[in-house]
């Protein structure tokens, strides 16, 4: 038996929807955000519409049941039922959507606020566009000393940072569950791998209170580390972050 095209389209949409839910939520155990699923389904629906309507005959076949429902006198009962149920369903869905709940409102926090051109760090005005890690050149010039500096950075990290950012640098430290937003996951390719070292230096040294107005209202609990660590220690920690994760800092020159 040939499945009517309208039903085919509905089945494709339902299949894709449940496919997303099953693959992400069950198989991969990484829940798909509802906001994204809505966006995905909107364009999947557009795609299904495109495939089902590019041909005139197939379009007629697709809309035939809808046309019959609206125009066929024999389908009066069904028509009345559909015309009653659809507005009720839309109204119900709208009501559920708009109903106030106890959940905190969604936050669209800027993960990477843009740095200022200059910042006052360790009592001096620093140009973040030109600032470089003073130890980075040792990676080639003196690998042994570089390794020592990385190890020193590791020690500083373990003493100060791992409580939140985790000993695997994955943002899963023992205190992480108590924080919202949770500490940054440095293993993620979308974090330090995308940034210059000067950016990390600025974020570490000035912490949450140093976030620019653009990111307001900032809710970062990152301390102002220039009050607790020396400048060299901060640069060493930065070396360690890249070394451990295997990422390279953003740069403009080939190595």
Nearer to another protein, 1 or 106 (CB): 106
CA distance linking residue 109 with residue 214, whole number of Å: 10
Instruction: State the binding string over 31-50 for another protein (x if CB under 8 A, else -).
Output: xxxxxx--xx--xx-xx--x
d(CA 160, CA 148): 18
Q: Least distance (Å) from another protein to the CB of residue 159?
A: 23
Among 103, 141, 144, 227, binds another protein (CB under 8 A): 103
Residue 236 neighbours by CB distance under 10 Å:
24
C-alpha span between 187 and 132 (Å, rounded): 22
Is 67 a binder of another protein (CB under 8 A)? no
CB of 119 to another protein, least distance (A): 11
Q: What CA–CA distance (Å, rounded) separates 23 from 42?
A: 19
For residue 230, give both structure tokens.
């020396």
CB of 14 to another protein, least distance (A): 16
Based on the shown chain and the rule CB under 8 A, indicate whether residue 98 belongs to the binding site for another protein: no
Size of the site for another protein (CB under 8 A): 64
For residue 50, give the H/E element and its range: helix 34-53
Phi, psi (rounded to 5 degrees) for 216: -65, 150
Note whether 69 binds another protein by CB under 8 A. Answer: no
Least CB distance to another protein at residue 9 (A): 12
Kindly indicate which of the ranges 87-95, 136-144, 171-179, 217-225 contains the residues binding another protein, using the contact rule CB under 8 A.
171-179
Q: Choose the binding region for another protein from 54-62, 76-84, 143-151, 222-230 (rule: CB under 8 A).
A: 54-62
**What is the smallest separation between the CB atom of 188 and another protein, expressed in angstroms?**
5
Q: What is the C-alpha to C-alpha distance for residues 211 and 175, in angstroms, rounded to an integer?
A: 21
Report the C-alpha gap between 239 and 248 in whole angstroms: 10
Q: Which stretch binds another protein (CB under 8 A): 83-91, 107-115, 138-146, 226-234?
A: 107-115
Going from the C-alpha of 172 to that of each of 94, 163, 179, 247, the distances in angstroms are 38, 8, 11, 18
Calculate the alpha carbon distances from 94 to 98, 100, 113, 234, 249 in Å. 6, 12, 35, 51, 47
Q: Which is nearer to another protein, 156 or 247 (CB)?
A: 247
Q: Which residues are at the interface with another protein (CB under 8 A)?
A: 24, 28, 30-36, 39-40, 43-44, 46-47, 50-51, 53-56, 59, 103-104, 106, 108-117, 128-129, 171-172, 176, 180-183, 185, 188-190, 193-194, 196, 198-199, 214-215, 247-255
């Amino acid at each position: 038996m040939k499945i009517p095209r309208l039903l085919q389209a509905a089945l494709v949409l339902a299949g894709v929807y449940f496919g997303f839910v099953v693959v992400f939520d069950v198989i991969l155990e990484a829940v798909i955000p509802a906001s994204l699923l809505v966006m995905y389904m909107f364009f999947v629906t557009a795609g299904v519409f495109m495939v089902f309507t590019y041909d005139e005959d197939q379009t007629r076949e697709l809309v035939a049941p809808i046309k019959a429902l609206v125009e066929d006198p024999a389908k009066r009962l069904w028509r009345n039922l559909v015309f009653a149920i659809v507005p009720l369903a839309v109204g119900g869905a709208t009501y559920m959507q708009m109903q106030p709940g106890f959940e905190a409102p969604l936050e669209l926090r800027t993960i990477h606020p843009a740095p200022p051109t200059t910042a006052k760090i360790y009592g001096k005005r620093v140009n973040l566009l030109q600032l470089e890690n003073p130890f980075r050149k040792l990676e080639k010039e003196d690998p042994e000393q570089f390794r020592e500096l990385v190890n020193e950075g590791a020690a500083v990290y373990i003493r100060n940072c791992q409580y939140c950012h985790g000993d695997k640098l994955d943002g899963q430290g023992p205190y992480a569950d108590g924080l919202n937003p949770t500490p940054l996951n440095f293993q993620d390719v979308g974090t330090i791998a995308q940034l210059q070292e000067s950016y990390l230096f600025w974020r570490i040294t000035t912490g949450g209170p140093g976030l620019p107005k653009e990111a307001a209202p900032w809710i970062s609990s990152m301390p102002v580390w220039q009050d607790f660590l020396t400048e060299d220690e901060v640069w060493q920690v930065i070396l360690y972050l890249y070394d451990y994760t295997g990422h390279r800092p953003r740069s403009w020159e080939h190595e």
